[in-house]
Amino acid sequence: MRFVLASHNAHKVAEFDQIVASAVSGVSVTGYDGPEPVESGSTFVENAFIKARAAAEHTGLASLADDSGLCVDALSGMPGIFSSRWSGEGATDLRNVELLLAQLADVPDAYRSAQFRCVIAVVVPHTSDAPAREFSVEGVWAGRISRAPLGSSGFGYDPIFIPEGYEVSAAELEPATKNALSHRARAIAELAKVLGSA
């Protein structure tokens, strides 16, 4: 089955392709160059469906979209859906990381727990053979926030996220290890279960 991945983020497309190839047999994923809808939802699920529905409508193909972010317990789950633009207009990975570390400066190590969350929405348009179908899956990667950036691999908040069971940041992990552990990998594993039973 062929899916369009509703993302213009080159990092995400590359990471997604690597994980899908090893997790879902017989499923291919292609990039998407159509218009990006406004992500007006208040949850990862809502935003993922907004993107997947837009891609399905634009291409006429079965579409996947993920919405993901970092949820910090000491910040009541923030930045959450605002992860990519946490530092405001013109946000960059560096500015987002610096702001988050500043906001957690006085938080003791024991209270710096966090999770990367990923929701994948799937929208399959109706065909002459089958009705339209929509569903979503979620993956969660638990860890904690370091006091300073560590490592140079990865992107986003990877340099300050210490995965549960590790003493190094996500940016210090080998790409294959990170891809096997990540919130996206966990969500794709759930997706594989659903597609495998379809």
Taking 90 as the threshold, does the pLDDT of residue 161 lie above it? yes
Please tell me the distance from the alpha carbon of residue 62 to that of residue 31, in angstroms, as a whole number. Answer: 12
- Residue-wise pLDDT for 173-193, tens only, equals 998 899 889 998 899 889 888
For the chain, the first-to-last Cα distance in angstroms comes to 12
Domain that residue 19 falls in: 2-197
**How much is the mean pLDDT over the chain?**
91
Please tell me the distance from the alpha carbon of residue 102 to that of residue 74, in angstroms, as a whole number. Answer: 13
Taking 80 as the threshold, does the pLDDT of residue 22 lie above it? no
* One-letter amino acid for residue 162 of the chain: I
Please tell me the distance from the alpha carbon of residue 84 to that of residue 40, in angstroms, as a whole number. Answer: 14
Catalytic residue among 67, 93, 106, 129: 67
CATH of the domain at 151: 3.90.950.10
Q: 33 an active-site residue? A: no
Number of domains the chain is built from: 1
